Chains A and B, each alone.
Chain A
Amino acid sequence: MRKVLLPTIIIVSALLILARLFYLQIVDESLKLKSDNNAIKIIYEYPERGYIYDRNGTLIVANQPSYDIMVTPKDVKNIDTLELCKLLNITKADFIRIVEKARVYSPRLPSVFLPQLNKREYAAFQEKQRKFQGFDIVKRSLRDYQTTAGSNIFGFITQVNEKKIESNSYYKSGDLIGQQGVEQEYENILRGIKGVKYRQRDKFNKDIGSYKDGKFDTIAVQGEDIKLTIDIALQEYGEELMKNKRGGIVAIEPSTGEILALVTAPSYDPSILVGRERSKNYTRLYNDSIAKPLFDRALLGEFPPGSPFKILTGLVALQEGVIDERTTFFCNHGFSYGRGRFMRCHGSGPHQLLNGISQSCNTYFANAFMRTIDKYKNPAQAVDIWSSHIKSFGLGDFMGYDLPTGKKGLIPSSKIYKRIYPNGGWRSTTIISNSIGQGEVLMTPIQLANMMAAVANEGTYFTPHIVKKIKDHRIDDKFLTRHKTSINPMYFKPVIEGLHAVYNGGTASALRIDGIEICGKTGTAENYSKINGKRTQLTDHSIFVAFAPKDNPKIAIAVLVENGYYGARNAGPMASLMIEKYLKGSISRKDLEVKIYSNDLQKEYAKYISGQPFGINGK
């Protein structure tokens, strides 16, 4: 018995292996198809990419046909290389280099030989194609932009890279894929699904019909059209206003969270990233490390928010019950807090909440902040409570919008101060700069805009989003859910009155628009940069946040102009013009418009890199 065991195991195992082999080799037919069989040629049919429309149904991104010449290195036989090179206007060295690269990718699979031919080049090649064995033409669609604006929103399409090919079996060498912006975020919807045809070939490479009567073939599924929340006219206008400046504008519809405009400057015409010049142009944009045209300041720029942050300081103080509408703080050109430290303020006199906001009084909000923090025995606990109120506006974190890039900004919690002051000893006065949006606090323009939307809605907001409708289906439910801030709605009323007063006798009284009641807040944010290793103060960022109309708000907006000096100088007029443009459709104050157009900040930016000493804030 003991002698029999091993031989039995051996024979049983061998039979098991044979059975498995029989199944794989004889029974299971799908494996034969999957094998890249010599006799089967796979032909892909590329569907047209979905169109992109703006919120009003204006077509903004369409397609144009383009032709790629593909090469399958193994099949290249007996061709007149010289003739081919001449026809396509390339050198023999190019030819050898491209074919060699294709061979490294795969000798049996097609790679792009020459991408994106126009119709004329295509016609010339097609006439002689039969002479060049191993070369095929694949028709793809390229983007055809109907606007010069919105490049940061759209992103672009490009040939898929090798890493993606490896990680996702859908993509084959030479396929196009969306990168950045909506093109990347909604790639699967826009691209559709390519069709596959299996054709049988004999050993002379001649097509001898479909494989298994097309049992495995699939039909291409068209990409779906997308409707954006963007108002393209507003977007174009915003980019126009931002010319020769750096910064961002974000406009949101408070009642839905729809992004009406998402402007970053400097920007570029999206059509320069289409066609054979794409790579050259992209490299040029990529290498501009000073102006950074590929850096979406509206989503990625983290700035100290400055005075607009006082709105939140006030709201939190009201919610925590440490101030009310009538609480009065006396300002004497500033606020001194402990041992000779002094926060300057431009105004003076007794301030209550309303004129505290409209006059943007530092003293008022420093006091309100101090009371908030000092309400609790332990400053760590107090800061965390304050921090969670602020974060309930969607700040200090990625907001969850449907664009692929973002920054968290920074809303400090006690953890950060414990790290900065490991020995403790920090108190409300240590961190008082946060009360006026300086200090540790950082926000992106889209966060500023969202904050305004939440104020406009009296304490609720929707996650900002860029896509309004995808052909036949609804957008993600997360964009239809109303988020609540931790501030009681009743506290928004007095703050909104204060924001309204900003336009009526306050810091933005020169920017009123007839017939539109605007609520806004100016901001002038100090900022620093390292120049030759030295921390140097630069001209203040000009910031403005607003929403309008006061009742039933239609637009909430944040404008940030890097080094644009005080808020009412650049950002304020731009916000006011954008609001007028969106609500009225046209601009009545042409003089203001001209003033902004002619406000060229390039000289300001040039100062910082000139290497010469420079003055700031107009000096």
Chain B
Amino acid sequence: MGANKAKAAVIVFPGSNCDNDAGRAIKAATGVDARFVWHRETSMEDFDLIVLPGGFSFGDYLRTGAIARYSPIMKEVIRQARRGAKVLGICNGFQILTESGMLPGALLRNRDLLFLSKDVYLRVENNNTAFTSAYKEKQVIRLPIAHGDGNYYIDDEGYKRLVGEGRVVFRYSAPDGATEGMAPNGAKGDIAGIINDHGNVLGLMPHPERHCEAILGGADGKWMFESLLNAVGGQS
């Protein structure tokens, strides 16, 4: 693979704990060195890809992601999203995206009230996005989850809209691709990840950055970063 010219940033909140993992994954998958941007920054250079990483941004004592959305950098993230930058929210990043209204719905406590850390199967519902173009349609992939609040909720009308517009990108599934009732956390419609109506902001609960190298137990997440960086930067 040649050097990728795309520019990537990872936003660092005080309680982010997957920021380095995201940086390492981007590097492993695409060779791009991501820049780490502290949440108190009020401006940053233009990026092609901005990652809101997993963790517990501000301890998540009020609600997950509720305080992070008020961090100074979020205005800048919203500005760059409007400009067309790709924004990827992983786990806590997904929660921040829903709290800030960049994605619809909300993430509630897991149905069984327990934190859940394990590998899950996902079915790629829409491979026609900048985030998923390297996957096949309806491909079943395996990624780790690690969350206490991943129970995606949206009202029926919103759900219909998401489905109708092809904005449900990942659903939890069985290894054979059946999705019905497969969400380990009770998520509506077994939703694991959704995209915004412009197709440039994606949030998901599973951790693609943790499965980018075979030694870690899987490399299915690598294709998301490849899709993204190729979509935005091309290769030299």
**Is A bound to B?**
no
